[in-house]
Chains A and B, each alone.
Chain A
């Protein structure tokens, strides 16, 4: 499939799934997966990053519109989108020459796991810190981050597992 169409559809699909299904899960009253950040993991590494940064911001902002949360999703999504490159260098030893051939699904599972876990935890931590917006209940932020990260990661790996089998 054409890459542009695929990522366009993924963008819309991620928003719809997040807003109408995942935001209503609230397991145990507060544990919620935020699977839309999968878009950040999967988007190809380009030399020109303006489009990618803007899309990440837009993705977060639309989720914010639906969940009345100001700009916290936009902030945290844009943050992991920006630092993604740093972790690609650290975990996969890839540099600008390798970017066109880089595909996350073809990398070894261990490296992929580290990469996804790091970005997810950073995203969730920023998200819940801003949602709480005070230093009171800080333990709440940490527990929320840990439980929701686990939930998000399980969902992410399930989804990638299912779709990689089909190919």
Chain B
């Protein structure tokens, strides 16, 4: 007993140090897991609130740029609306109402108050949370393309796992041929992401557009991602295609959050099949 007390007395700092190091290690390993990273994140009210205050100020410096982006998007959407009128008139006059109003996704807007892009596991923080109906695993996009998936929510804030995260894995496809693969990031360049598992028979050329595939319950179909910047011509096991993002991930402001209204239904159905 005396020896034990003597031991504790001698190594008390080392033991305290090891205890704290173990806590830190546990937090590190927790954070690597998409579904369990709930302890240390910037979506809590203190850090979220402080980021919100700072970005309230810094927002003014990019007002002009933001306005331009909005104007461009509005122009594009107006043009799309015009096209739609014509095509509906051209096809037929019998439109079934349930088809016309078959809404699968709802969009709401948010503002990015903290943006990371230079690390290997990047996260963003947005200023909408559970109070505004943001839940886990909702898509985050902007007018230029995809940004990420929400992974942690608090009352007023949510944390978004950026596509620039080594854990991220999205369904994506070629716009011209519908072959699909998964989109990952190797942690090097924040403008370039990797598309893997595209079938060999698919012809991929530099400059082809990549968009979301709609095979997941998170992202709507056909959201833009980027263009093919280089194709691996070697006979490697994994068929890696480099994709240059349309979005400049280092310069993001307002985003849209996409909610899939049919998510429960699809998930239930898929679970039934598995049983």
Asked if A45 is at the interface (CB within 8 A of a chain B CB), the reply is: no
Asked if B71 is at the interface (CB within 8 A of a chain A CB), the reply is: no
B28–A20 CB distance below 8 A: no
Asked if A57 is at the interface (CB within 8 A of a chain B CB), the reply is: yes
Interface 0/1 of B7-49, CB less than 8 Å to A? 0000001101100110111111111100001001110101100
Q: A20-B54, A66-B42, A66-B47 are in contact. Are A53 and B17 (CB under 8 A)?
A: yes
Contacts of A68 in B (CB 8 A): 31, 40-42, 114, 116, 121-123, 125, 159
B44–A70 CB distance below 8 A: no
A67, B47: Cα distance in complex, Å: 10
B40–A65 CB distance below 8 A: yes
Asked if A79 is at the interface (CB within 8 A of a chain B CB), the reply is: yes
B: number of interface residues (CB 8 Å): 42
Contacts of A50 in B (CB 8 A): 13, 16
Q: DSSP majority for the A interface? A: helix
A70–B16 CB distance below 8 A: no
| Interface members, chain B 177-222 (any A CB < 8 Å) | 186-188, 190
Interface 0/1 of B95-129, CB less than 8 Å to A? 00000000000000000001010111111010000
Would you give the shortest CB distance from B264 to chain A, in whole angstroms?
Answer: 29
Stretch at the interface among A26-34, A90-98, A117-125, A154-162: A26-34
A133, B23: Cα distance in complex, Å: 17
A69, B27: Cα distance in complex, Å: 9
B118–A26 CB distance below 8 A: yes
A100, B120: Cα distance in complex, Å: 42
A73, B17: Cα distance in complex, Å: 15
Contacts of A131 in B (CB 8 A): 119-121
A residues with CB within 8 A of B: 19-20, 26, 29-30, 32, 49-50, 53-54, 57, 60-61, 64-72, 74-75, 78-79, 82, 130-133, 137, 140
